[in-house]
Amino acid sequence: MRAAVITFPGTNRDGDVSRALGAGGADVSPCWHADHALPAGTDLVVLPGGFSYGDYLRTGAIAARANIMDAVRAHAARGGLVLAICNGFQIACEAGLLPGVLVRNANLRFVCRRQTLKVERTDTLFTGGYRRGQVIDVCIAHGEGNYICDAGTLARIEGEGQVAFRYCDAAGALTPDANPNGSLNHIAGIYSANLRVLGMMPHPENLIEQLTGGADGKPLFESLGRAA
């Protein structure tokens, strides 16, 4: 598994996600937003978290128009893997890699806390290390994580099984209190139609070892490390 981690001006989780990918068995190369091509042989593109371009205009909007994104779109169109986390998820939606958009949290507050998620399916290259319906413990840190899309798109992504993770309580129930940002149907992460692009607001790279508070993010990187 050869992973390319893209850094935009204002990206700040590129180091942590590179470390998590490496721990999962991937061969990781850095990649700069102004480049026009991905490193040769890239299997997986990672759009990390952060505050690209200071969140100016709309979160992810300017990064989505960076030079490297033409190469990322071509990679995705070829069936290449893309993992987009937090600001990366916002960039992926703005770039048209995933449907919908992430807007200001419903309560207008930046949320930074531990959060439980339900794993919707385990037959993808991202989630093969989890059990179906497993409740995992992750970190969230965002001000614009409120996932919305039109009714037709929502029906399609629900019908096609494109929801990857949902915000839930510790018992796995989708209670209103367990939704930190107002996302439709508690959506925390979605797949592209071919299940090769995953966008998610939570940060699995934060929790990959017990020493630093938990390891529920690790299976995602191990699953990717085993792929390709």
129 close to 222: Cβ distance less than 8 angstroms? yes
Residues contacting other proteins: total by CB under 8 A: 19
Residue 132 interacts with other proteins (CB under 8 A)?
no
Q: How do beta strands 27-32 and 2-7 pair?
A: parallel
Find the shortest distance in angstroms from Cβ 189 to other proteins.
Answer: 18
Find the shortest distance in angstroms from Cβ 33 to other proteins.
Answer: 16
181 close to 108: Cβ distance less than 8 angstroms? no
Among 184, 5, 170, which residue's Cα sits nearest to residue 85? Answer: 5
- Kindly tell me which of 57 and 228 has the beta carbon lying closer to other proteins: 57
Instruction: Clarify whether 36 is annotated catalytic.
Output: no
Instruction: Write out the two tokens for 143.
Output: 């001000």
Q: How do beta strands 146-148 and 197-200 pair?
A: unpaired
Residue 138 interacts with other proteins (CB under 8 A)?
no
Instruction: Clarify whether 203 is annotated catalytic.
Output: yes
Binding residue (CB under 8 A) for other proteins from 11, 52, 105, 115: 105
131 close to 83: Cβ distance less than 8 angstroms? no
Residue 183 interacts with other proteins (CB under 8 A)?
no
CA 81/CA 66 separation, integer angstroms: 19
Find the shortest distance in angstroms from Cβ 155 to other proteins.
Answer: 16
Binding residue (CB under 8 A) for other proteins from 28, 61, 139, 140: 61
102 close to 145: Cβ distance less than 8 angstroms? yes
Q: Note the residues at the interface with other proteins (CB under 8 A).
A: 57-58, 61-62, 65, 94, 100-101, 103-108, 146, 148-150, 182
Catalytic residues: 86, 203, 205
